[in-house]
Amino acid sequence: MSEIFENLAGKLLIAVPAMADKRFEKSVIFMCGHDKNGAIGIVLNKPFLRLTFKTLLRQLAIDDSKIFSDIRLYEGGPVEVGRGFVLHSSDFYHSTTVKITPEIYLTATVDILKAISEGGGPEKFRLCLGYSGWSAGQLEFEMQTNSWVQANTDLDMVFSKTADVMWDQAMMSLGITHSSLSGDIGHG
């Protein structure tokens, strides 16, 4: 493994077409933290189909009467799938909120769900259940073995893109098209 360490917090990880782990096939992940001890990220483009936001609010005994259209939930990853994480714009802050970039924050408490249900909360957000995690050196190994490519974060990608086109658009943002894909992606 290389002696050079690049912190990927605040970047996007994009699964290559030959991703061996089917749980991450065509995933686009926003990296929330990364250091020599490991990494954590949130998958942005896998809709959570087993639960709606209104049902989640009811399970948490939060009033859902001000929610007129359901808000999509996403599968943030295979770790702690019963725990919610909200990536959001900087216009919401709670004592437990973590600043990832100047424009993107992370809150993982029920307070943000209450704020959203009351019509407040952040202007832009993505609600995810679970997260993706890597132990020390694991992500670096996966990158060296061509499982992922990285990209700079695009706010539109994090908050606005629909799940079904996000992976294709993330790859195109790197100049990678279906015709240019190969199994050697990621090696220089």
Q: Compute the distance between CA of residue 19 and CA of residue 21 in angstroms, rounded to an integer.
A: 6
pLDDT for 54-63, tens place per residue?
889 989 999 8
Q: Compute the distance between CA of residue 123 and CA of residue 134 in angstroms, rounded to an integer.
A: 30
**C-beta neighbour count of 115 within 10 angstroms:** 18
pLDDT for 51-106, tens place per residue?
888 889 989 999 888 877 778 999 999 999 989 999 999 999 999 999 999 999 99
pLDDT of residue 182: 53
Chain length of the chain = 188
Q: Compute the distance between CA of residue 139 and CA of residue 21 in angstroms, rounded to an integer.
A: 13
pLDDT for 110-160, tens place per residue?
999 999 998 888 999 999 999 999 999 999 999 998 899 999 998 988 998
CATH numbers and ranges of domains, the chain: 12-179 (3.40.1740.10)
> For residue 7, which of 44, 38, 46 has the smallest C-alpha distance?
38
> For residue 109, which of 98, 120, 100 has the smallest C-alpha distance?
98
pTM (2 decimals)? 0.88
Amino acid letter, 114:
K
Strand pairing class (148-151; 125-135)? unpaired
Q: Indicate whether 164 pLDDT > 90.
A: no
Q: What is the dihedral of CA 172, 175, 178, 179, to 10 degrees?
A: 150
Helix (H, G, I), strand (E, B) or coil at 93: coil
Q: How confident is the model at residue 181 (pLDDT cuts 50, 70, 90)?
A: low
